[in-house]
Structure 1
Amino acid sequence: MSRFLCCLLSITITGTMSELVLKSRADWKARPPTLVEPMTNPVPYVIIHHSYIPPACSSTPECVAAMQRMQDMHQITNGWNDIGYHFAVGGDGNAYEGRGWSAVGAHAPRYNNISIGICVIGDWQAELPPPQQLEAVHKLIACGVEMGMIQEDYKLLGHRQVRDTECPGDRLFQEVTTWPHFHPMPRYRPKEEEKGSSGVDDNKLFFFKGKS
């Protein structure tokens, strides 16, 4: 619990932002991971995703259900160690702990052990998330920098820049390109041997192709 208090305090003390509510795994009744691989902090990248499915949530009970649904898809259906993202952010304006700051993720091939993956819950192909959801993403990133979990000179990427996917949706990606630290690296093009591959286990290669 202390790390969540630290997050709140680090943001409040700076005087630059209001408090971020960061819900722990216990808050959304997460199952334990089957394996945790440690990740070295601070990391040089932050990668933004959308969930596509589950859809957007506007209340805390809805967002808790979305977190549980994502963990079911990732851990039970896909056989991964845990929910793939380090954190998710809901339309209720809260952030939700996934793998946390210091565990290798399962959200972006070749970047899983050097990035924080943040899922903006919903389908953001045609419209933007509500202001409180976007604000919470900014607060979460600032929190990570303040805590020494994300490098001060981090590079911000959309999932589509590192994987053949529409994620995080056209409209959200357009918004992300205007944020501080966005890095305009070319959109990822899969190698021939990767095309059509369903991939392997959780923390290196396998991620949804297409929408998510």
Structure 2
Amino acid sequence: MSAVTGLLFLLGQGKAPSLGGLTLSPMVAVAGGSSVESIFRTRTEVEPQRWDAIVIHHSASPFGSPKSIEEEHRRGNLLGLGYHFVIGNGSGMGEGDIHVGYRWLDQLAGAHAIGPDAEMYNRRAIGICVVGDGNRRAFPDLQVRRLAQLVAALSRELNIPPDRILLQKDIAESSSPGRYFPEAAFRQYLEGMR
């Protein structure tokens, strides 16, 4: 069974893999166009007017997977993975793999923002976590390109303007996604995909 067929099988059954999400590999793009378009096949209908921003975070650790991040969030008294999406760096999940979390599949508020406006951002903004510690090292180029691909698809479909594509440090006293996050390159990739 090909990766695309497997993904369509999972989506068609209405069942989610462990953690209540699914993971899209960069190889799916080779087989069938833009692999991120399937994110709009959610269990609950996507309401475009609900989402008006995207906030990008880092995991602040060199290793991470949806499971390890979910466990960390549960230790912090959250009810599961706080992000809508997680993008792998090759340590804990495949480089460029996009994990679609249950919060996105069920169109639920996130639990990703901090700061004085956290409640609003958790309700209205899509939270994306890139695995890695952006204060210690740069992110792999494939991971940044996949982030741009995901953000481009979300912003196009949901009419989210470029000035509402934010980094965690833009909304709270935080360094996330870190000083080595290649914001200029990310925005250049994004502009080329919009």
Task: Tell me, yes or no, whether TM beats 0.5.
Answer: yes
| TM interval, short-chain normalised | 0.5 to 0.7
> 2:33 & 2:183 partners in 1: Cα distance?
21
Please report the TM-score for the alignment, with normalisation by the length of structure 2: 0.63
Superposed displacement of residue 19, structure 1: 3.2
Is 1:167 matched up with 2:172? no
Name the structure 2 match of 1:176. 183
In structure 1, runs of 5+ residues without a counterpart are 25-37, 57-62, 183-212
- Once the two structures are overlaid, the 10-residue window that deviates more, 66-75 or 39-48, is 39-48
- Once the two structures are overlaid, the 10-residue window that deviates more, 77-86 or 97-106, is 97-106
Is 1:93 matched up with 2:96? yes
Once the two structures are superposed, what CA deviation does each residue of 1:42-96 show, in whole Å capped at 9, x if it has no partner? 422111100013x24xxxxxx6xx2111111112x11212211110101211100
> 1:125 & 1:23 partners in 2: Cα distance?
32
Counterpart residue identity of residue 66, structure 2? M
> 2:80 & 2:111 partners in 1: Cα distance?
8
Q: Residue 46 of structure 1 contacts residue 157 of structure 1 at CA under 8 Å; is this kept in 2? A: yes
Q: Against the structure 1 CA distance between its residues 23 and 170, is the aligned structure 2 distance closer, same or farther, given a 3 Å change threshold?
A: farther
- Secondary structure of 2:165's match? strand
Is 1:82 matched up with 2:80? yes
Percent identical across equivalent pairs? 24
Superposed displacement of residue 161, structure 1: 1.4
- Secondary structure of 1:112's match? helix
> 1:23 & 1:124 partners in 2: Cα distance?
28
> 1:123 & 1:82 partners in 2: Cα distance?
21
Q: Residue 45 of structure 1 contacts residue 115 of structure 1 at CA under 8 Å; is this kept in 2? A: yes
> 1:120 & 1:68 partners in 2: Cα distance?
14
Please report the TM-score for the alignment, with normalisation by the length of structure 1: 0.58
Name the structure 2 match of 1:103. 108
Counterpart residue identity of residue 168, structure 1? P
> 1:68 & 1:135 partners in 2: Cα distance?
23
In structure 2, runs of 5+ residues without a counterpart are 1-10, 15-20, 40-44, 90-94
Name the structure 2 match of 1:19. 34
> 1:72 & 1:158 partners in 2: Cα distance?
23
Q: Residue 87 of structure 1 contacts residue 118 of structure 1 at CA under 8 Å; is this kept in 2? A: yes
> 1:80 & 1:18 partners in 2: Cα distance?
35
Superposed displacement of residue 21, structure 1: 6.2
Say which of 41, 45, 60 aligns to 1:52: 60
Superposed displacement of residue 40, structure 1: 4.6
Q: Residue 88 of structure 1 contacts residue 121 of structure 1 at CA under 8 Å; is this kept in 2? A: yes
Count of aligned pairs between the two proteins: 147
Counterpart residue identity of residue 113, structure 1? R
Say which of 105, 112, 117 aligns to 2:127: 117
Q: Against the structure 1 CA distance between its residues 161 and 145, is the aligned structure 2 distance closer, same or farther, given a 3 Å change threshold?
A: closer
Superposed displacement of residue 157, structure 1: 0.9
Is 1:41 matched up with 2:48? yes
Bigger fraction of residues in helix: 2
Once the two structures are superposed, what CA deviation does each residue of 1:162-204 show, in whole Å capped at 9, x if it has no partner? 12212110111xx22551689xxxxxxxxxxxxxxxxxxxxxx
